Structure 1
Amino acid sequence: MKWNWGKGVVVGMLAFMSFIMYLVITMSTDKNYSHDLVTEEYYAKEIAYQEEIDAETNTNNLKEKITGKRTEKGWEIIFPAELDPEKIKGTVFLYRPSNKKLDFSLPLDLTSSNLLIPGNRMLDGRWNITIDWDYEKTQYLYKKQIVY
């Protein structure tokens, strides 16, 4: 059997198609290449997005801003002095982008204007903090990326 350029083109195309099929099958079946969405209920969150925008606008309109800092005991969040801490009710959600098993939430029930998130619940690295609270029937939302 004689080898010519036509056979070489056909063999090259078959090799290329085999390689592409191998990649497609590997990427679709291997668990190492499986990535989750950031949120499970993406479409439900999209519908409520305008409410989030309004709550963030309310937070940005406060005279003082919410601040946070790392302390020996954990991450301390300081609420504005203009707000009565007893009237603030809500939740604090900490999201770890690298591992969703580390995500957790805390109830927001303050007696002073400071909230301490215990350091034993947080590993070093990047966290997204979301504080969703209600103050005198007005919704507020604070989002911040921190490095602990």
Structure 2
Amino acid sequence: MKLNWGTSIVIAFVLFIGFIMFMVVQMLSNKELEYDLVVESYYQKELTFQEDLDSAQNAADLENQVNIAMISEGLQIIFPSDFDYSEIEGEVFLYRPSDKALDFTVQLQLENSEYVLPRSLMEAGKWEVNLKFNHKGEDYFIQQKIQI
């Protein structure tokens, strides 16, 4: 059987479409590639966006920065020594891009200038830590990515 150029083009198109369909099925069925890109309350989040930017700038302008790090016990947050820990109110929101069911918020309850969130509350993987707190009427917002 002899192939002419028209048949070859049709075969090439069919193979290309088959390859694309195979890749689409692979991408849609792979659980590791599922990411929630938009928060549920998108419009409410948009309304507070400028406030978050101002709070993030306040945090960036601090002389002594808030330190967020993973240690063996869990997520450690150390506030600057010039902050009175009894006047700090806020929350830590942990966002898991790959599974929104794992997202959670913890209210800060400080006994000293250091706060440790137990590792047992977090599964291994990539997390985004959003720390919002208020100290003496000034709002602060810190966002950091961590790997457990």
TM-score by length of 2: 0.75
Asked if 2 retains the 8 angstrom alpha-carbon contact of 1:86 and 1:109, the reply is: no
Offset at residue 38 of structure 1 (A): 2.4
SS at match of 1:123: coil
Asked if 2 retains the 8 angstrom alpha-carbon contact of 1:124 and 1:147, the reply is: yes
Match of 2:77 in 1: 77
Match of 1:106 in 2: 106
Offset at residue 65 of structure 1 (A): 0.8
Please give the alpha-carbon distance, in whole angstroms, between the structure 1 residues aligned to 2:61 and 2:110.
21
Match of 1:39 in 2: 39
CA gap of 1:35–1:79, structure 2 versus 1, over 3 A, is: closer
Q: Which amino acid aligns with 1:76?
A: Q
Q: How many residues were matched structurally?
A: 146
Deviations 1:34-54 (A, max 9, x none): 864420122221222111110
Larger radius of gyration: 1
* Structure 1, gaps ≥5 residues long: none
SS at match of 2:59: helix
SS at match of 1:109: coil
Asked if 2 retains the 8 angstrom alpha-carbon contact of 1:69 and 1:76, the reply is: yes
Offset at residue 68 of structure 1 (A): 2.2
4+ aligned runs moved over 3 Å, structure 1: 30-37
Match of 1:93 in 2: 93
Asked if 2 retains the 8 angstrom alpha-carbon contact of 1:55 and 1:141, the reply is: yes
CA gap of 1:34–1:111, structure 2 versus 1, over 3 A, is: closer
Q: Which amino acid aligns with 1:129?
A: V
Offset at residue 103 of structure 1 (A): 1.0
Deviations 1:77-118 (A, max 9, x none): 111111110000011001111111111110012121111010
Root-mean-square deviation (CA), in Å? 3.1
Match of 1:68 in 2: 68
Please give the alpha-carbon distance, in whole angstroms, between the structure 2 residues aligned to 1:110 and 1:102.
24
Match of 1:116 in 2: 116
The more displaced of 85-94 and 73-82 is: 73-82
Question: Percentage identity across aligned positions?
Answer: 33
